[in-house]
Amino acid sequence: MTPTAPRRRPTITDVAREAGVAASTVSRAFTRPGRVNAATRDHVLAVAERLGYAPNPAAQALESGRSNTVALVVPDITNPYFAGVIKGAERAAAQAGLTLVLADAQENPAHEEQLVRRLGPAVDGFVLMASRMPDPVLRRTAELNRVVLVNRACTGLASVVADYDDGTRQIVAHLAAHGHRSFVFLGGPAESWSGARRWAGLRAAAREHGLEATRFGPYLPILASGPAAADAVLAHRATAVVAHNDMLAIGVLTRLSARGVAVPEQVSVVGFDNVFGSDFCHPPLTTLAERTEEAGAHAIAGLGQQSSTGTRDTPARVLPTHLVVRASSGPAPDGPG
């Protein structure tokens, strides 16, 4: 049997009364320890500690207009792809003395918009990860908030993006080197900005290398889309397939294995993201890795820059990508290799 509701939180006034000083002195003891007599300060801090006092962030924010809190909005917090970005952002935020709150847009632009509206007044800025909001909404959002986009671009807004042009070139070069003459791209959601960039890059690189590229889809970028995607690949008699992301790629691997198709002997499979699991699926997946932690850290830094310089004219930051070659890709069945 525990007591009832939590007891009232001590306020700065409680501490002041208990310590026999004015509220402003208590405030100073916390925020400008130098500007108060050492003895007084120690006494005040001791009383505060005893009472379990902690400054109310809401009140602080109201006064200063700054909450020292930034929000990171991701499309789906349970998608392992975002783990790296979150980690990187967390570390950078902690280092900058900022509290990071995470919010999940639940793959829903409307929900994302509502989230930003609700959180907006309470935070100092947003990192919008792979935002699905349309450009105009994004721009309107940026009028009232500091914003940095990650893996999404929108003219006039700061962003951090992966170098898909180079990354897709690496993928196509890898396939071409193994004697593949064509490949199939399994596309993700139509509204996905990164999906569009990936396909555009693949197509351009294919042209450079004289490969034929075909797009299938769209597929939901999840394991469960594997069977449909894999069956389409088999029907097309493709020797190589590049999936929108690793989840889809792993789903394809599972289906191919179930249908007795050998990977990479009969079909090579390549994914994007290098997510958790891509190294221990069967066979381990060849995939394009991004510097996700760096992206998260840069995004937070970009936010900080906007605060200090008072401008948001941060150039779009492009982060390198690199192909992680594992066992799921190899020589084309009819190729020279």
Partner DNA sequence: GTGAAAGCGCTAACAT
Partner DNA sequence: ATGTTAGCGCTTTCAC
The answer to whether 112 and 122 have CB atoms below 8 angstroms apart is: no
At 196, the amino acid letter reads A
Q: What x-and-dash track marks residues 206-235 binding a copy of itself by CB under 8 A?
A: -----------------x------------
Cβ atoms within 10 Å of 293's Cβ, excluding its own: 18
* Residue list 178-207, contact with a copy of itself (CB under 8 A): none
Is 13 an interacting residue with respect to DNA (CB under 7 A)? yes
The single residue among 60, 69, 214, 257 that binds DNA, judged by CB under 7 A, is: 60
* CA dist 155 → 136, 272, 299, 301, 317 (Å): 10, 25, 16, 19, 13
Q: What x-and-dash track marks residues 102-121 binding DNA by CB under 7 A?
A: -------------------x
Q: What x-and-dash track marks residues 141-180 binding a copy of itself by CB under 8 A?
A: -xxxxx---------xx-----------------------
The single residue among 40, 68, 182, 214 that binds DNA, judged by CB under 7 A, is: 40
Angle at 240 between CA 238 and CA 245, to 5 degrees: 120
Is 307 an interacting residue with respect to DNA (CB under 7 A)? no
* Residue list 213-232, contact with DNA (CB under 7 A): none
Helix (H) or strand (E) holding 289: strand 286-290
Is 177 an interacting residue with respect to DNA (CB under 7 A)? no
CB 206, min distance to a copy of itself, A? 29
At 258, the amino acid letter reads A
Is 21 an interacting residue with respect to DNA (CB under 7 A)? yes
At 113, the amino acid letter reads E
Query: Quick one: CA torsion of 241, 324, 253, 201, rounded to 10 degrees?
Result: -30
The single residue among 2, 6, 52, 64 that binds DNA, judged by CB under 7 A, is: 64
Residue 95 binds which entry of a copy of itself, DNA, none, with Cβ cut-offs from 5 to 8 Å by kind?
none
Which two tokens mark 81? 């792809």
Comparison of 60 and 214: residue with beta carbon closer to DNA: 60
Which two tokens mark 318? 């492009």
The single residue among 103, 129, 238, 300 that binds a copy of itself, judged by CB under 8 A, is: 103
Q: Report how far residue 34's alpha carbon sits from residue 227's, in angstroms, rounded to the nearest whole number.
A: 66
Please enumerate, as own/partner, the contacts of 105-111 that have beta carbons within 8 Å and a separation of 24 or more.
105/73, 105/74, 105/75, 105/76, 105/131, 105/132, 106/75, 106/76, 107/75, 107/76, 107/132, 108/132, 109/133, 109/134, 109/137, 109/191
The DSSP-derived string for 254-284 is HHHHHTT--TTTT-EEEEES--TTTTTSSSP
* Residue list 234-253, contact with a copy of itself (CB under 8 A): 250, 253
Comparison of 284 and 333: residue with beta carbon closer to a copy of itself: 284
The answer to whether 127 and 135 have CB atoms below 8 angstroms apart is: no
Return residues touching DNA (CB under 7 A). Answer: 9, 11-13, 20-25, 27-28, 30-32, 35-37, 39-41, 53, 55-56, 59-60, 62-65, 121
- Residue ranges that bind a copy of itself, judged by CB under 8 A: 1-7, 9, 52, 54-59, 61-62, 67, 77-78, 80, 83-84, 86-87, 90, 99-104, 106, 117-122, 140, 142-146, 156-157, 223, 250, 253-254, 276-277, 280-282, 306, 310-313
